[in-house]
């Protein structure tokens, strides 16, 4: 039926774009052509989302995917974030690289297809297939280009840890099927309310896999190493897209009738949230590498998101969605600055705090955007991060989560120190030194446009958050 194709349009367009890109690379290698085909495919998938939301008639593939306004809204958010990373990668991999680069846009498209499939999944089958498609493609993105020792090491680490995580999830899914004879979310979740030992073990195993993808404590050990070793665009992708997809599934499951956290689950998530907020912020204080700082910062930010998830209310749900959007904008902006200042042909990215010394004097535009990004991550007005953090705090207060809300406030204050430290280093007068090639590089037009857009979104939605809230309500209700 036409309505079936209409509802699944974003998924089908991404699959078609991958097929076309594979054929194009086989005919003629061209990085610019690969980027163009990928960008057109992502833009077409985004443009088809409103049309897909308006689909009528029986839902297509109801045992595999669910095409609701909310799930398609999250899929659009995933695709938008992937488009932002693609634009950054187009500039990052252009300068001085002689090796084939066409595979990178292809890997990005495949990973995005997996993330969208995960977001739209209605069964543990499609959940696992989407998760694995996304993870396997991200391994290639992390280890690219291959002549970087740090990138190869990061890719190998992610391969090993991702394999362990997938094994846990698959074992959990096997226990679910053994106990319920179902793999669709709806009948399984109705049965899981009985709380049998097998199902509790399945929840624990699948939860551990989700914890790995979110990068929360105690599954956080891979985060700083992967972020530090991966190329800046790949680190941005890993930091944003998997988290959006996994949180989309969690939010949708929690909204199903009769689903609620048990007392034991609430206790476990509370401990994870407190440890993530505390360990993430404290360890970030001791770092000299900005990528590692962003890695530990992401652990803390996911702890903040867990506070809103535990609130289990309309304001908590709205807080999670608002925070996801804010996090995506700011993290892509932070890694984008590092990517613009770095060369893919170098042994590593320009990511040491000391290397940003005097950036306001040498690159005032990039330093200004980086300052806005850091202020947003720190939750300082008028940046959008302030509104996002207030949303989380309001959800915690509304649900009377006093310990969690108090931890959020204290650890946010700790976070101010390492964010402001970077801003201070950038504002210092540069010492007399020979200009590095990176500082002398011209900013590509894609970099100007992307960073200007990030800065405008951070300030625009920070001053007028109601405009973003209206957009999110139209997508997520």
Helix ranges restricted to H, 59-148: 69-92, 103-120, 124-142
Q: How far apart are CA 185 and CA 127, in angstroms?
A: 10
The whole-number average pLDDT for the span 250-257 is: 80
Instruction: Indicate whether 237 pLDDT > 90.
Output: yes
Would residue 151 count as lying in a domain?
Answer: no
Instruction: Indicate whether 170 pLDDT > 60.
Output: yes
Domains contained in the chain, number: 1
The whole-number average pLDDT for the span 326-354 is: 85
pLDDT score, position 119? 92
Would residue 428 count as lying in a domain?
Answer: yes
- Residue 237 tokens read as 């992708």
Which range is least confidently modeled, 55-69, 156-170, 175-189, 404-418? 55-69
How confident is residue 457, by pLDDT bands cut at 50, 70 and 90? very high
Asked if 170 and 177 touch (Cβ cutoff 8 Å), the reply is no
Would residue 338 count as lying in a domain?
Answer: yes
Would residue 66 count as lying in a domain?
Answer: no
| Residue range 82-97, pLDDT digits in tens | 999 999 888 888 755 6
Asked if 172 and 209 touch (Cβ cutoff 8 Å), the reply is yes
Residue 453: Cβ within 10 Å count: 18
Tell me what the pLDDT averaged over the chain comes to.
Answer: 85
| Residue range 57-72, pLDDT digits in tens | 556 666 788 888 888 8
pLDDT score, position 191? 66
Would residue 350 count as lying in a domain?
Answer: yes
Q: Longest Cα pair distance anywhere in the chain, in angstroms? A: 70
Would residue 94 count as lying in a domain?
Answer: no
Full residue range of the structural domain in which residue 411 is found: 267-477
Would residue 422 count as lying in a domain?
Answer: yes
pLDDT score, position 139? 92
The whole-number average pLDDT for the span 217-230 is: 86
Whether this model's pTM surpasses 0.85: yes
Instruction: Indicate whether 128 pLDDT > 80.
Output: yes
Q: How far apart are CA 292 and CA 229, in angstroms?
A: 9
Would residue 253 count as lying in a domain?
Answer: no
């Amino acid at each position: 039926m036409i309505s079936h194709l209409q509802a699944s349009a974003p998924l089908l367009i991404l699959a078609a774009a991958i097929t076309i890109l594979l054929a194009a690379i086989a005919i003629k290698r061209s990085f610019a052509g690969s980027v163009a085909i990928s960008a057109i495919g992502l833009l077409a998938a985004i443009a088809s989302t409103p049309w897909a939301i308006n689909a009528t008639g029986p839902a297509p593939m109801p045992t595999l995917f669910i095409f609701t306004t909310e799930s398609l809204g999250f899929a659009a958010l995933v695709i938008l974030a992937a488009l932002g990373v693609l634009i950054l990668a187009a500039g990052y991999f252009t300068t001085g690289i002689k090796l084939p680069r066409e595979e990178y846009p292809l890997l990005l498209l495949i990973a995005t297809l997996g993330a969208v499939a995960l977001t739209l999944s209605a069964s543990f089958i499609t959940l696992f297939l989407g998760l694995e498609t996304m993870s396997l493609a991200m391994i290639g993105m992390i280890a690219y280009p291959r002549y970087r020792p740090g990138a190869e090491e990061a890719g190998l680490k992610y391969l090993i840890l991702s394999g362990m995580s997938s094994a846990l999830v698959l074992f959990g899914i096997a226990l679910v099927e053994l106990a319920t004879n179902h793999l669709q979310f709806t009948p399984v979740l109705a049965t899981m309310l009985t709380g049998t030992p097998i199902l509790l073990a399945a929840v624990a195993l699948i939860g551990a896999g989700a914890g790995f993808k979110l990068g929360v404590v105690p599954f956080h050990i891979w985060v700083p190493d992967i972020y530090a070793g991966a190329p800046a665009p790949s680190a941005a992708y890993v930091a944003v897209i998997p988290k959006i997809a996994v949180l989309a599934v969690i939010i949708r499951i929690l909204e199903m009738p009769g689903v609620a956290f048990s007392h034991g689950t609430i206790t476990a998530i509370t401990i994870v949230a407190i440890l993530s907020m505390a360990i993430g912020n404290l360890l970030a204080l001791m770092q000299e590498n900005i990528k590692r700082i962003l890695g530990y910062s992401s652990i803390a930010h996911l702890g903040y998101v867990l506070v809103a998830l535990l609130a289990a209310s309309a304001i908590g749900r709205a807080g999670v969605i608002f925070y996801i959007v804010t996090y995506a904008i700011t993290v892509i902006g932070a890694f984008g600055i590092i990517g613009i200042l770095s060369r893919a042909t170098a042994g590593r990215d320009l990511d040491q705090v000391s290397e940003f010394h005097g950036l306001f004097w040498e690159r005032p535009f990039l330093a200004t955007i980086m300052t806005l990004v850091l202020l947003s991550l720190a939750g300082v007005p008028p940046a959008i991060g302030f509104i996002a953090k207030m949303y989380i705090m309001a959800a915690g207060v509304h649900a009377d989560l006093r310990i969690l809300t108090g931890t959020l406030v204290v650890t946010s204050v700790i976070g101010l120190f390492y964010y402001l430290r970077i801003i201070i280093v950038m504002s210092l007068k540069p010492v007399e030194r020979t200009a590095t090639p990176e500082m002398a590089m011209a900013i590509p037009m894609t970099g100007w446009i992307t960073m200007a857009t990030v800065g405008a979104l951070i300030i625009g939605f920070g001053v007028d958050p109601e405009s973003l809230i209206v957009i999110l309500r139209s997508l997520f209700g």
